[in-house]
Structure 1
Amino acid sequence: MPVKTIEEINERILEGKAVVVTAEEMIDIVEENGAKKAAKMVDVVTTGTFGAMCSSGAFINFGHSDPPIRMTRVWLNDVMAYGGIAAVDAYIGATELSESQGMQYGGAHVIEDFIAGKDIKLYAESYGTDCYPRKSIATTINKNNVNQAFMFNPRNCYQNYPAGTNSSDRTIYTYMGTLLPEFGNVTYCTSGQLSPLLNDPEYRTIGIGTRVFIGGTHGYVSFQGTQHDPGQVRMPNGTPASSAGTLALIGDLKKMSTDFIRAATYEKYGTTLFVGVGIPIPILDEDMAMKTAVSDKDIYTNIVDKSGKTSFSQAVSYQELRSGYVTINNKKVPTSPLSSTVKAREIADLLKTQIKKGEFLLTKSAEGLPTDKKRLNKLEVRGY
């Protein structure tokens, strides 16, 4: 039976009466009081994550020049952006590399520099038309002189993700960082008990239209993320045993902060964008209270061999991963995170403060995320 509705929770927020706690605080509350009582005590649980989210980028509208140009090829600080949209719109992807600096600078760095207010070199070409006669343009843009600039990330906030290791006899360089030979280390990337979708594992409150904290401002879930895979094997508490749900997120790039959006380069792999996201979860009933009390000891993932040499897979809890070591084949192996728990806590705390001040109201999703059991398709090499 529902204990309260989102509308009732928002009323309590506006009245300054809402009880808001972080996901980590909720663990102790439920342990001490039980889920039934906690559901009546707590109105909102805040979550947070800050990690590498490669499937990120931004749309920018530059405005029209005189004479005008229909941009067909676009570069920002020598990083190619996609211009096949309209005359002066472009999409800059986080992992696109600089044509002059290679892996040292990419789309993620352009985005961070833009948010920081720096001038960005814009160069664009066109074949020219009667209505858009200009064939090239070179200028600078920044967040104060473009029209719209909004982050649109096709896949963020993975609901769990496999940890990586390396069984081969050489060091390998991957999107899971540098992996040392012969099971020399393990890397992992999630905020565990603070992670948004691990606190709403069945997508009961997070859906299309959910208001979120993204990059230091407020944004929204725009759709299911790419590679959304709700059919993943689940633990008894509802959390997936490996990568499952994802979110497509949108937010105003001009209002974001480099405190929560940072570019990075993974050695010999490429560029990526660290994105800070926080999502509030309304405690509608006892079930949601129990789900948001999930702890690292009850969240599992698999350690997989990223070298491709073996089919090695070993289940492990996030409590074990966060301890600094795991055991593989009777060998003590060091672990390290690729996401920041410190920043995740900061985001959850900041979101908690904003809600308590009435600066952030909850939204009821316009449509839920898919929950079907169909698994992802694989790309078949068919020829043509």
Structure 2
Amino acid sequence: MAKTIEEINHKIRSGKAVVFTAEEIIGVVKEHGLKTAAAMVDVVTTGTFGPMCSSSAYFNIGHSKPRIKLGGGKISLNDVPAYAGFAAVDVMIGANALPDDDPRNRFHPGEFNYGGGHVIEELVAGKNIKLVATAYGTDCYPRKKLETWINIKDLNEAVLFNMRNSYQNYNVAVNLSDKAIYTYMGTLKPNMGNVNYCSAGQLSPLLNDPYYKTIGIGTKIFLGGGEGFIAWQGTQFNPGVPRTETGVPKRGSGTLAVIGDLKQMNSRYLMGTSMLGYGVTISVGLGVPIPILDEDILRHTTVTDDEIFAAVIDYSGAYPNVKPDIVAEVSYGELRTGNVMINGRKVPSASLSSYPRAREIATTLKEWISGGKFELTQPVASLPGVESGVKFKLLNERPINGSGG
């Protein structure tokens, strides 16, 4: 018999909900069978922790005396450029932002970069952040310069807003050239000397709900150590990619735009990350509960790493090539062994995503739900499905001819 989210929430409130992580549910279904397990289990929790570049934070610093209008001026946080083109004292910083005059932003191999992701981590950790701003001054906002320290406890609002997180599968990266290259997928050794990947695989949220049957706009989630919500489909949302017979995408597919209260979060799950020779990002902890409403939903949560395949892409040629050649397809089961066979060669593999931290997130979310601290939400709208026609488009470059059109 099918269940409803409200019925599951009633069990959560009474302390009777049966919850397993996406890793645990594989064995549960194998032991009890799909039908029995579907009747028994109420929620399956997922988790992922890895670099998510399209992340940001925004906050309101409060008005100074005299007041200043940051919009239209320049602002930096710990010498990292931020954006204030909203109103008087609303500020936003992106995870990839780098200091304008810092020689480290030349990305020399072997150098460490400090940027927006680190500022967000330090803000969440309760550290003081140096704010320097200049403005043009108006009659109602006469101040033209502001230098001060800000702290998260003093901010009016502090919000994490990430426009693309929790990729539903992604490329596996290699380098077929004869020199090392430095990418957002890490350092890639020449002549396919290593292979890097970035996914929690069988624990990853959208791989456990491949057709977005329970995950939608308004779904409450674990975000950065606190509670957050799915605000929209993420950028580059691309559901119509090749899939396995069980529906698992074999290429990068769905993504999530998420939002949450930064003041609830924990720097253990929001960590500034430096990619040698590339720049900075932030590693984000994200977990989504999947209500087990029927057998079909449960079946998808039993996916294993051996059943999830991804494309191996040559990053020395695929960027900027429009249509990269696929070197091979490999499973996450193979990748997690530490070595993978690609075209007859045994190549060392490594993950940019932390599987132990993803397991920790799924387990924490399980404990919140089992302890009655976290109830589920009914999505207010669905994410675009496979048949929606939504797809990721490349830039249609058009020369600027001075006409303004």
Q: In which range does the TM-score fall when normalised by the shorter chain?
A: over 0.9
State the superposition RMSD in angstroms: 1.1
SS of the counterpart of 1:56?
Answer: strand
Opposite residue 62 of structure 2, the aligned amino acid is: G
CA–CA distance in structure 2, aligned partners of residues 58 and 142 of structure 1: 14
CA–CA distance in structure 1, aligned partners of residues 383 and 327 of structure 2: 29
SS of the counterpart of 1:144?
Answer: helix
Does the 8 A contact of 1:49 with 1:341 survive in 2? yes
String of CA shifts for 1:265-284, please: whole Å, max 9, x gaps: 00010001000011100000
The answer for the alignment partner of 1:373 in structure 2 is 389
CA–CA distance in structure 1, aligned partners of residues 186 and 393 of structure 2: 26
Query: What TM-score does the superposition give when structure 1 sets the normalisation length?
Result: 0.98
- 1:129 Cα deviation from its structure 2 partner: 1.0
Within a 5 Å distance, the mapping from 1:313-352 to structure 2 comes to 313-352=327-366
Q: Closer, same or farther in 2 for the Cα pair 1:381/1:111, shift >3 Å?
A: same
CA–CA distance in structure 1, aligned partners of residues 341 and 371 of structure 2: 46
CA–CA distance in structure 2, aligned partners of residues 119 and 206 of structure 1: 36
Does the 8 A contact of 2:384 with 2:390 survive in 1? no
Q: Is 1:257 matched with 2:266?
A: yes
Q: Please, which of 86, 108, 117 is the counterpart of residue 108 of structure 1? A: 117
CA–CA distance in structure 1, aligned partners of residues 327 and 375 of structure 2: 42
The answer for the alignment partner of 2:44 in structure 1 is 45
Within a 5 Å distance, the mapping from 1:133-172 to structure 2 comes to 133-172=142-181
CA–CA distance in structure 2, aligned partners of residues 227 and 182 of structure 1: 30
CA–CA distance in structure 1, aligned partners of residues 332 and 389 of structure 2: 25
Does the 8 A contact of 2:328 with 2:343 survive in 1? no
- 1:375 Cα deviation from its structure 2 partner: 2.3
- Between stretches 101-110 and 174-183, larger displacement belongs to 101-110
The answer for the alignment partner of 1:57 in structure 2 is 56
Unaligned runs of 5+ in 1: none
String of CA shifts for 1:283-314, please: whole Å, max 9, x gaps: 00000110001110111111100001772431
String of CA shifts for 1:205-260, please: whole Å, max 9, x gaps: 11110000011100100111011111111111111011000000111111111111
Does the 8 A contact of 2:237 with 2:391 survive in 1? no
String of CA shifts for 1:29-67, please: whole Å, max 9, x gaps: 112222222110100000000000000010011111111
SS of the counterpart of 2:59?
Answer: strand
Opposite residue 261 of structure 2, the aligned amino acid is: D
Within a 5 Å distance, the mapping from 1:1-384 to structure 2 comes to 3-71=2-70, 72-101=73-102, 102-103=104-105, 104-308=113-317, 311-371=325-385, 372-384=388-400
Opposite residue 75 of structure 2, the aligned amino acid is: V
- Between stretches 250-259 and 157-166, larger displacement belongs to 250-259
CA–CA distance in structure 1, aligned partners of residues 379 and 101 of structure 2: 44
Opposite residue 69 of structure 1, the aligned amino acid is: I
- 1:329 Cα deviation from its structure 2 partner: 2.7
- 1:100 Cα deviation from its structure 2 partner: 4.4
CA–CA distance in structure 1, aligned partners of residues 254 and 156 of structure 2: 33
Opposite residue 99 of structure 2, the aligned amino acid is: S
Does the 8 A contact of 2:311 with 2:326 survive in 1? no
SS of the counterpart of 2:84?
Answer: coil
Opposite residue 249 of structure 2, the aligned amino acid is: P
Unaligned runs of 5+ in 2: 106-112, 319-323, 401-405
Opposite residue 325 of structure 2, the aligned amino acid is: S
- 1:376 Cα deviation from its structure 2 partner: 1.6
Q: Closer, same or farther in 2 for the Cα pair 1:242/1:214, shift >3 Å?
A: same
CA–CA distance in structure 1, aligned partners of residues 138 and 241 of structure 2: 50
Provide the aligned length of Structure 1 versus Structure 2: 383
Query: What TM-score does the superposition give when structure 2 sets the normalisation length?
Result: 0.93
Opposite residue 173 of structure 1, the aligned amino acid is: Y
CA–CA distance in structure 1, aligned partners of residues 7 and 264 of structure 2: 29
- 1:349 Cα deviation from its structure 2 partner: 0.6
String of CA shifts for 1:139-172, please: whole Å, max 9, x gaps: 1101011111100000000000011000000000
CA–CA distance in structure 2, aligned partners of residues 140 and 3 of structure 1: 54
CA–CA distance in structure 2, aligned partners of residues 375 and 254 of structure 1: 35
SS of the counterpart of 1:358?
Answer: coil
Opposite residue 10 of structure 1, the aligned amino acid is: N
CA–CA distance in structure 2, aligned partners of residues 34 and 373 of structure 1: 36
CA–CA distance in structure 2, aligned partners of residues 263 and 115 of structure 1: 11
Does the 8 A contact of 2:236 with 2:391 survive in 1? no
String of CA shifts for 1:162-189, please: whole Å, max 9, x gaps: 1100000000000000000001110000
CA–CA distance in structure 2, aligned partners of residues 356 and 272 of structure 1: 33
